[in-house]
Amino acid sequence: MEKKVYGYVRVSTKEQNEDRQMIALENFQVKPDRIFMDKQSGKDFQRPEYQKMIRKLREGDLLVIKSIDRLGRNYEEILEQWRILTKEMRVDVAVIDIPLLDTRKTEDNLTGTFIADLVLQILSYVAETERENIRARQAEGIEAARRRGVRFGRPRKKIPQQFCYLQELWTAGKIASREAARQLEISQDTFLRWVREGTVKGVLNDPVIGHGGNSNEQ
């Protein structure tokens, strides 16, 4: 049976343009009608075209991708897809950007899968370690900023003087919390939280309290 060559392209929202991958695959002599492409949006990683391609692949066929991260979003996903393709399905895989990641056995590439597997393990580990280091540095930066007094989240809202008067009316049962919030042009949740977070005297001494979201509380 004829061994076929397929290509796979995945475009994320950051990349938008698939031309670079398409040109690389066509230069690799992959026929346009055998190139499958998924467009990823946001956190959605459903890949219908990839799944369709998997169903077409047969033992001995070749899958060509431009970069290894087309197979998955992280270390585990990449290795799992590589295992399924090369071990279970016995499909050859060639990664254009990394010539060593080519499982085909030729006169120039006698080791084939062995070297490719080894290189993939190393590259995937390094990539995942770098991602973890970035996350750790971000967390450390946030913690350091907090210790310096930097506040994160929405800006704090200054309490208007009218709040004290409306709070007294609300406490005396002469006005509903919803009406008080409406007059202050804040959410009902915010009004009630300002009340909880301090007495009139406390609010006046500390005229800034966090601003909350909308609420349907009666």
Where exactly are the structural domains of the chain? 5-131, 157-209
Task: Answer positive or negative: Cα dihedral of 59, 63, 69, 71.
Answer: negative
Highest mean pLDDT among 33-47, 104-118, 177-191, 197-211: 177-191
| Residue 13 burial by Cβ neighbours in a 10 Å radius (0-12, 13-18, 19+) | exposed
Asked whether residue 78 carries a pLDDT value surpassing 50, the answer given is: yes
User: What is d(CA 100, CA 127) in angstroms, rounded to the nearest whole number?
Assistant: 17
Q: Is 215 a catalytic residue?
A: no
Reported as a pLDDT band with limits 50, 70 and 90, residue 190 is confident
Reported as a pLDDT band with limits 50, 70 and 90, residue 208 is very low
What's the whole-number mean pLDDT along residues 65-87? 88
Mean residue pLDDT across the chain:
80
Q: In this predicted model, which residue has the larger pLDDT, 197 or 91? A: 91
Q: Which of 49, 111, 57 is nearest to 84 (CA)?
A: 57
Q: What percent of the chain has pLDDT over 70?
A: 78
Instruction: Report pLDDT for 200.
Output: 43
Q: In this predicted model, which residue has the larger pLDDT, 111 or 173? A: 173
Q: What percent of the chain has pLDDT over 90?
A: 28
Task: Answer positive or negative: Cα dihedral of 121, 122, 125, 128.
Answer: negative
Question: What's the CATH number for 5-131?
Answer: 3.40.50.1390
Q: Which of 175, 207, 203, 180 is nearest to 191 (CA)?
A: 180
What's the whole-number mean pLDDT along residues 182-197? 87
What's the whole-number mean pLDDT along residues 180-203? 78
Asked whether residue 130 carries a pLDDT value surpassing 50, the answer given is: yes
Are the C-beta atoms of residues 116 and 102 closer than 8 Å to each other? yes
Instruction: Report pLDDT for 206.
Output: 46
The catalytic residue among 12, 41, 67, 177 is 12
Q: Which long-range contacts (CB under 8 A, 24 or more apart) does 156-165 make?
A: 156/208, 156/209, 156/210, 156/211, 157/186, 157/190, 157/208, 157/209, 157/210, 157/211, 158/207, 158/208, 159/194, 159/203, 159/207, 159/208, 159/209, 160/184, 163/191, 163/194, 163/203, 164/200, 164/203, 164/204
What's the whole-number mean pLDDT along residues 127-148? 82
- Which of 58-67, 78-87, 96-105 is predicted least confidently? 96-105
